[in-house]
A and B are shown apart, each in its own frame.
Chain A
Amino acid sequence: MRFDPALIIHHLPSILSGLSITILTWLIGTIGAVLVGFVIASARRFGPRPLGMALGAIVEVIRGTPFLIQLFLLYFGGPYIGLFLDPLPAGLLGLTVYGSAYFSEIFRGGFEAVPVGHIEAAECVGLNRLQIVKRILLPEMSMLVLPSAVNMAILLIKETAVLSIITVPELTMIVSAIGSEYYAFVESLFLLALFYWALVELCGFLGRKAEAKLSHFRLSAS
Chain B
Amino acid sequence: MSHPAVTIRGLHKSFGAVEVLRGIDLDIPRAQVTCLIGPSGSGKSTLLRCMAFLEETSSGSILIDDAPLGFRTHADGSRTRLPAADIRTARRKIGMVFQQFNLWPHMTALGNVSEALKTVQKLGRREAEDRAMVQLKKVGLAERADHFPSQLSGGQQQRVAIARALALEPEIMLFDEPTSSLDPELTGEVLNVMRALADDGMTMVVVSHEIGFSASVGQKIAFLDQGQLLLTGTPTEVFGKPRHPRLDQFLETYLDRGAAMLL
Contact = CB atoms under 8 A, between A and B. Distances in A.
Given A125-B120, A135-B119, 10 more contacts: A115-B100, A121-B96, A123-B54, A124-B91, A124-B96, A128-B84, A136-B104, A139-B106, A140-B105, A217-B106
A129 B84 CA distance: 10
B33 interface: no
B116 interface: yes
Interface residues of A, number: 27
B214 interface: no
B63 to A, nearest CB: 18
A124 B88 CA distance: 8
Given A118-B102, A221-B157, A124 B150 contact: no
Contacts of A217: 105-106, 148, 150
A124 B52 contact: yes
A91 B28 CA distance: 65
B115 A221 contact: no
A62 B51 CA distance: 46
Q: Give the interface centre of B91, B96, B150 by most chain A CB atoms within 10 Å.
A: B150
Interface string B102-123: 1111100000000110011000
Which are the 7 A-B pairs with shortest beta-carbon distances? Answer: A125-B116, A117-B102, A121-B102, A219-B150, A124-B96, A126-B120, A221-B150
Given A125-B120, A125-B168, A126-B92, A120 B152 contact: no
A123 B120 CA distance: 11
Interface string B179-194: 0010000000000000
8 contacts: A117-B102, A120-B96, A126-B120, A127-B119, A216-B148, A220-B105, A221-B152, A222-B100
Contact of B116 (A127, A216, A222): A127
B164 interface: yes
B151 interface: yes
B181 A222 contact: yes
A124 B54 contact: yes
Contacts of A222: 100, 154, 181
A221 B105 CA distance: 8
B164 A125 contact: yes
B98 interface: yes
Contacts of A136: 104
Contact of A124 (B95, B149, B152, B181): B95
Interface string B151-174: 110100100010011001000000
A122 B165 CA distance: 10
A191 interface: no
A222 B154 CA distance: 8
B94 interface: yes
Q: Give the interface centre of A121, A123, A214 by most chain B CB atoms within 10 Å.
A: A121
A91 B100 CA distance: 48
Nearest to A139: B106
A218 B105 CA distance: 8
A115 B119 contact: no
Interface string B127-154: 0000000000000000000001111101
B148 A126 contact: no
A117 B164 CA distance: 14
Interface string A191-222: 00000000000000000000000101111111
Contacts of B150: 216-221
Contact of A216 (B54, B100, B151, B154): B151
A132 to B, nearest CB: 10
A215 to B, nearest CB: 9
Given A124-B52, A124-B95, A115 B102 contact: yes
A149 to B, nearest CB: 16
